[in-house]
Amino acid sequence: MSAALLGVLRATDRNGALVARLEVTRWPVTAGRALTADLVLDDSHVAGEHLRIESTPEGEVVVQVLDSANGVVLDDKQYGQGTRFNWPSGRALTLGRLRLGLRMVHEPLPAEEPLPRLPWRMVAWTVLSLAGMLALVLGQSWLTLSEPSQLARRLPGLLMVVATAVAAWSGLWALATKLFTGRLHFWRHVRIACVSSLAVQAGVTFASMLAFMFSLESLARFETQLELLGVAAAVYVHLTVIVTQRRRSLAGLVTGIALVGIAMTLGNNWLQNKRLSNRLYMSAMFPPSWRVAPAVPVKQFLEEAGDIRRRLDERLKDREPDGGDNEDTDTE
């Protein structure tokens, strides 16, 4: 007579594919790479007998980490060799490159999931994001044209450029997602690309507007650094589609790279121009009625202009070559 079933252990890889399965009919059970383990796992980052799982009389599941150098991760918390901890129902353990789940017999069965259908809401969001991206490009092109009638002639080329850029960027992210998760998620990356581009442009425009309204020139002079932060945020959102775990570590990595890039741009500006910003004036102007900061008196304006002129003269002197007697003399 077969023993009563107590639960099922399932080990899956990062893509969610089933690697190993064990029907639990007694406690305790062990999991590891050794053939003596109850659940044999084929992962070089797993110890021979990595952990032991047992059930208490109160019905709680307890995990003990055995002779393992890598330990076990539960809810982003690391448990090392010799530690014991409770394993809550419905949570997954991470050991090596695998995820271990336990389903007990007495646990309620989840409801049946409906088959996927055409997600009209996602289609609408995709169409809106693409339309917003196109409107942004058309608006920027219209502002740079001297003749507004030229926009109609440039429209097919702009559509091709926008479609190619979005498709190439989203396609590369979709290929990376397919490689690591087994799914493309192309349209999700399209939405992320379009929405992030709109958000970055909106942030830069809002910063320029605040700079104009309150005379905060720094907000307008460091637009490049603001754009780098926006691009870093977009890259992080793209990566979360690929890496569904350890998002805090991922956010820290992307933030660190973004800060290094910002520091490099600031250093390059200082080496070339002796200032942190490469912008001398605001690139966007707004209606004068939007100004909130008080007007600068004429005397103060002239003094500040004179100070700028003195600094420019000093910089020109520093760049002049050492003078010699460059005049040609005739000798007879």
CATH number (domain holding residue 40): 2.60.200.20
β-bridge partners, 62: 54, 86
pLDDT higher at 136 or 282: 136
Is the pLDDT at 314 greater than 80? The verdict is: no
Is the confidence at residue 329, as pLDDT, over 70? no
What pLDDT is attached to residue 151? 75
What pTM value is reported for the model? 0.62
Is there a contact between 29 and 53 (Cβ–Cβ < 8 Å)? Answer: yes
pLDDT of the residue at 191: 92
pLDDT at 321: 61
Task: Look at residues 256, 273, 290 and tell me which one is the last residue of a structural domain.
Answer: 273
Please give the average per-residue pLDDT across 255-265, as a whole number. Answer: 92
Q: What value does the mean pLDDT take over residues 248-277?
A: 87
Instruction: Give me the chain's average pLDDT, please.
Output: 84
Q: Supply the range of the domain harboring residue 220.
A: 120-273
Q: Of 104, 138, 159, which closes a domain?
A: 104
In a domain, 291, yes or no: no
Give burial (CB, 10 Å; 0-12/13-18/19+) of 156: exposed
What tens digit of pLDDT does each residue of 39-65 get?
999 989 999 999 999 998 888 899 999
Q: Is residue 166 part of a domain?
A: yes
Neighbouring CB atoms inside 10 A of 61's CB total: 18
pLDDT band per the 50, 70, 90 thresholds, residue 216? confident
**Residue 311 falls within a domain, yes or no?**
no
Q: Contact 39/11 with Cβ under 8 angstroms?
A: yes
The per-residue pLDDT for 220 is 78
Q: What are the C-alpha distances in Å from 108 to residues 18, 85, 123, 241, 292?
A: 22, 23, 34, 30, 62
- Phi, psi (degrees; rounded to nearest 5) at 77: -110, 130
In a domain, 322, yes or no: no
Question: Are 29 and 38 a contacting pair, CB within 8 Å?
Answer: yes
Instruction: Tell me, yes or no, whether 19 and 153 share the same domain.
Output: no
Q: Quick check: is 321 in a domain?
A: no
Mean pLDDT for the stretch of residues 306-316: 76
Q: What is the pLDDT of residue 124?
A: 85
In this structure, the answer to whether residues 83 and 187 fall within a common structural domain is no
Q: Give the pLDDT confidence score for residue 27 in this predicted structure.
A: 92
For residues 35 and 22, what is the distance between their CA atoms, to the nearest angstrom?
14
Paired sense of beta strands 39-40 and 29-32, if any: parallel
Question: What per-residue confidence (pLDDT) applies to 41?
Answer: 93
CA dist., res. 166 & res. 234, Å (int): 13
265 shares a domain with 189: yes
The total number of structural domains in the chain stands at 2
